Amino acid sequence: MNAENIVIATAKERNLQIRYVRAPDGWVGPENFELTHGDVPVPGDGEVLVRNHYLSLDPYQRRQMIPGVEYVRPLRLGAIMEGRTVGEVLQSQHRDFRTGDFVYGDFGWQQFGVLRGEEIRKIDTTLAPPSAWLGVLGSPGITAWVGLLHVAKARAGETVIVSAAAGAVGSVVGQIARLSGCRVVGIAGGPQKCRLVVEELGFHACVDYRVADFEAMLAQATPDGADVDFENVGGTVFDTVLTRMNDFGRIALCGLVSQYNLREPQGLRNVATLLNRNLMLQGFRVGHYKEQREPALHQLADWVRQGKLRFRETVAQGLEKAPQAFVDMLAGHNVGKQVVKLV
């Protein structure tokens, strides 16, 4: 089928979309979104029309709903939800892309999207399935690599704690730490997730933060303390981790997912530990490490190719399921990367 026929076919379809229509007060819910239909867009000069195959759901999207947020661009009420996707090129008005290419871009929560060629990149679906380019080979994987190796500067022989260890970022962080010669202790919600990160992903230990004696169990799992904390959760989990940090330990603050749905953020009781133990705490946004993107992707792809880096996904079927899948992800119901299959 040539490009002209593809465009004619898509013109007969409607573009299923999900819009952000109501700001949440506390926990986000499906009522904050609306399913709508629009026309299939037509690419202009230098643009590419893509049929999205997979949509990425990420905690940062909840932060975009917080009024005055500085971390990412705030969402606009009534707009199509922003989000990363991978999909197939249907029509190209850009010399670098052809019909049938698989690409990655910020096309949003919709079935069809148009972006300029400079805003997307090709992906290699012979190396890994398309959805993996939203996870282990996408922003979560690059975030894990940059945060652990360039922000926290983890070294062989050190002990690394990873919160949200069964999530999209944490599951990759722990494997990179193990491949780098570190002892890795994960923190996850529930015995099933803890078993997965130890038995399948190779963490040396995992502690369930939901148990009553979490602090004691974490101490048992880190008898010699911890040198690095890759922090994704914040709140009481982070407060407890601080008590296990060794002198001159480093903390890479990647996320605070426990705080995003709260009306008032929680404070830290053990903040003095930062001073008392000479700790380094650095928040980071992977978008500020653009020079590390290609080295990270090269290393991650090499590990995937060699079978050294595993990945798990939780897949929701159909765009209409995206709002509930988003809510479930924020509640910790996913394992690995949360994606929505659109095709």
Q: Which two tokens stand for residue 192?
A: 């099933």
User: What pTM value is reported for the model?
Assistant: 0.93
Q: Are 284 and 17 in contact (CB under 8 A)?
A: no
For the segment 174-214, what is each residue's pLDDT rounded down to a tens digit? 999 999 999 999 999 999 999 999 999 999 999 999 999 99
What does the H/E/C string look like for 241-296? HHCCEEEEEEEEECCCHHHCCCCCCCCCCCCHHHHHCCCEEEECCHHHCHHHHHHH
Residue 69: its pLDDT value, please?
A: 74
Share of the chain above pLDDT 70, in %: 96
Residue 10: its pLDDT value, please?
A: 55
Q: pLDDT class for 11, splitting at 50, 70, 90?
A: low
Residue 74: its pLDDT value, please?
A: 87
Averaged confidence pLDDT in the chain: 94
Domains of the chain listed by start with CATH number: 3-135+311-341 (3.90.180.10), 139-287 (3.40.50.720)
Q: What is the mean pLDDT of residues 48-76?
A: 89
What phi, psi does 60 have (nearest 5°)?
A: -60, -25
For the segment 82-119, what is each residue's pLDDT rounded down to a tens digit? 999 999 999 999 999 999 999 999 999 999 999 999 99
In angstroms, the CA 309 to CA 133 distance is 14
Residue 27 pLDDT greater than 80, yes or no: yes
Q: Strands 159-163, 226-231: parallel, antiparallel or unpaired by DSSP?
A: parallel
Q: Which two tokens stand for residue 256?
A: 């605070």
Residue 4 pLDDT greater than 70, yes or no: no
Q: What is the mean pLDDT of residues 6-14?
A: 60
Helix/strand/coil for 299 = helix
What phi, psi does 245 have (nearest 5°)?
A: -80, 135
CA distances from 241 to 164, 207, 301 (A): 13, 11, 31
Rounded to 5 degrees, what angle do the CA atoms 146, 69, 150 make? Answer: 10
Q: pLDDT class for 1, splitting at 50, 70, 90?
A: very low
In angstroms, the CA 311 to CA 115 distance is 28
- Helix (H) / strand (E) element for 163: namely strand 159-163
Q: How far is CA 62 from the centre of its chain?
A: 12
Q: Which two tokens stand for residue 324?
A: 């509930």
Share of the chain above pLDDT 90, in %: 90
Residue 3: its pLDDT value, please?
A: 47
For the segment 132-178, what is each residue's pLDDT rounded down to a tens digit? 999 999 999 999 999 999 999 999 999 999 999 999 999 999 999 99
- Residue from 89, 75, 162, 152 nearest 122 by CA: 89
